[in-house]
Amino acid sequence: MSGVVAGFGTEEAMEQAFARLHDAGLAGETYSPHPPEGAPKRSWIPAVILIGGFAAAGGFFALQCYALMFNYPFDIGGRPLFSWPAYIPLAFEGGVLIAIFAGFFGFLIACRLPYLYDPIDEIDAFRAASRDTYFVAVRTGDPERIRQARELLRPLDPLLIEDIPP
């Protein structure tokens, strides 16, 4: 066994079970069909997107400065080589492109995805986590802690409690 999972019919019951496990020092994880409302911690992805976007925008701006001022300076009717307003479009578009990628790959890294197999998938009823059932799971190999978690969860009247296979 590598843990225990319990399913509930409502989000509130799931939150309550999670809080109870948390108070007992059993680190748990929730699984829900839609983003849970009580967001406990903030995500660092927006910061990654911001940094990635601005770094890329600055990089593309610098690239244009290098290309048009130093690598291939070209005098067109005495106009200034550092014509920065015309450099902004590519800086913006390049910044957006990298920001979107930063968000996507940042998400994959933050959630350790792709993660195609998890022992929890062996539990058939867990498929309802992407439908209408809210789950809490405790991952531990210690039988004593699994027993403790089961005892905490049972009075909450879950729809099901199952062991996660190893």
β partners of residue 162: 5
The single residue listed with the structure tokens 């990654």 is 48
Q: Side chain identity at 153, as an amino acid letter? A: L
Pick out residues in 73-102 that bind other proteins (CB under 8 A).
Answer: 83, 86-87, 89-90, 92-94, 96-97, 99-101
| Pairwise CA distance, residues 96 & 104, whole Å | 12
β partners of residue 163: 4
Nearest to 48 by CA among 93, 105, 113, 91: 105
Number of residues that bind other proteins (CB under 8 A): 58
Pick out residues in 99-158 that bind other proteins (CB under 8 A).
Answer: 99-101, 103-104, 106-108, 110-111, 113-118, 120, 127-132
Q: Return residues touching other proteins (CB under 8 A).
A: 11, 18, 29-36, 39-43, 45-46, 49, 53, 63-64, 67-68, 71-72, 83, 86-87, 89-90, 92-94, 96-97, 99-101, 103-104, 106-108, 110-111, 113-118, 120, 127-132
